[in-house]
Amino acid sequence: MRESPLAAELESPSRWPVIGHEAAVAALELDNLWLEVDGPEVPIADGSFRPFYELLRAAGRVAQGVPARVARPRSPIAVDGVGGSSYVLAPADSLRVSATIEFDHPLIRRQYASFRVTPEEFGAEIAPARTFGFLAEAEELRARGLALGVSFDNAIVLDADGLAAGALRFPDEFVRHKIGDVVGDLALAGCRLQAHVVAERPSHAGNLALAREIAAQAAPAPRPIVDIQKIMQYLPHRYPMLLVDRIVEFEAGKRIVGIKNVTINEPFFQGHYPGHPIMPGVLIIEAMAQVGGLLLMDAV
């Protein structure tokens, strides 16, 4: 996935833009979907998420007997995007997105909204919100080959003082659409998210940076290259002085990554220190030495 000036894109030879369908897919909790498109990108429709939401909801879904991939952050995640955007993601029982946007325009100024991302709330509060842009930027974008299909029928177009045409569906339609963008872009992390996302001036670039962080945390722990049984064949140390449990990365003669599992039951915590356990520095150095010894064994 990558960001473009107006959307997120899936990496492919055609660079397929992600617009309204990903947000609708995520809100309806669809995990396995085949989408055929007979053109270079998914149609913009009316510029909102609603056409995709209504079609997908009408089609229904079928349980496949496979557990959904769910990501719930173990601790808060903070990400700073570009252009002043920032994000905080905290654990929660379901997905909620709160966003604040700020534009120097009389119809927008500073807007805030917060919604739970359920099929019902998304359909009523977020799906109808359309994308928006400024009339002054239209010619520049078209000269760069962008926004060629945008019109008054599929976007909110703003002039210097207000709307260039039409009417708003909500007074805060702008921030609602931005929340939909967050939902759709974070769906590219490949999992259902149980978290409260607080976004300040969200952008596609910032959304995707957060999605990458979520995907990295949701990834399964790496399988050991060398497990404890093999380590005990290589090293003479035994518990409690064997201070490496598995090797997860190895590049001969160059680098190695090992893991030592530490629990509150470690004997050194009884005196170092009661009520405030700290692993002694000398043992941390010994653990590093044992891992380093495994790296150098082939050279000895």
Nearest to 99 by CA among 167, 172, 156, 169: 172
- Residue 150, token pair as written in the block: 């945008």
Look at residue 2 in the predicted model and tell me its pLDDT. 53
Write down the domain spans for the chain. Answer: 2-218, 228-299
* CATH number 3.30.70.420 given to 2-218: no
Q: What burial class does residue 107 get, using C-beta atoms within 10 Å of its C-beta: 0-12 exposed, 13-18 middle, 19+ buried?
A: middle
Mean pLDDT, all residues of the chain: 88
H or E stretch at 247: strand 246-251
Q: What is the DSSP letter of 226?
A: B
Using CA atoms, how far residue 60 sits from 30, 52, 63, 96, 250, in Å, is: 10, 13, 10, 23, 47
How far apart CA 125 and CA 177 sit, in angstroms, is 10
Q: Hey, what are 297's tokens? A: 């064994």
**For residue 166, what are its two tokens?**
């039409």
Our measurement of the distance from residue 258's CA atom to the centroid of its chain's CA atoms, rounded to an integer in Å, reads: 28
More confident residue, 13 or 263: 263
What percentage of the chain carries pLDDT values higher than 90? Answer: 57
> Which residues are CB-neighbours of 72 under 8 A, at least 6 positions away?
91, 92, 193, 194, 195
Instruction: Enumerate the active-site residues.
Output: 204, 272
Maximum CA extent, the chain? 78
CATH-assigned architecture of domain 228-299: Roll (3.10)
Q: Which of 183, 203, 202 is nearest to 193 (CA)?
A: 183
Alpha carbons 112 and 114: distance in angstroms, whole number: 7
pLDDT (tens digit per residue) in 191-230: 999 999 999 999 999 999 999 999 988 776 667 789 999 9
How many CA atoms are closer than 13 Å to the CA of 111, on its beta-carbon side?
20
Most confident residue range from 1-15, 195-209, 267-281: 195-209
Report how far residue 215's alpha carbon sits from residue 220's, in angstroms, rounded to the nearest whole number: 10
Task: With 0.85 as the threshold, say if the pTM is over it.
Answer: no
Q: What is the CA radius of gyration of the chain?
A: 25
**DSSP character at residue 223:** P
Q: Which residues contact 139 (CB under 8 A, 6 or more apart)?
A: none
Residues 202 and 101: beta-carbon distance below 8 Å = yes
Would you give the DSSP letter of residue 238? -
Q: Which of 70-79, 111-120, 187-196 has the lowest mean pLDDT?
A: 70-79
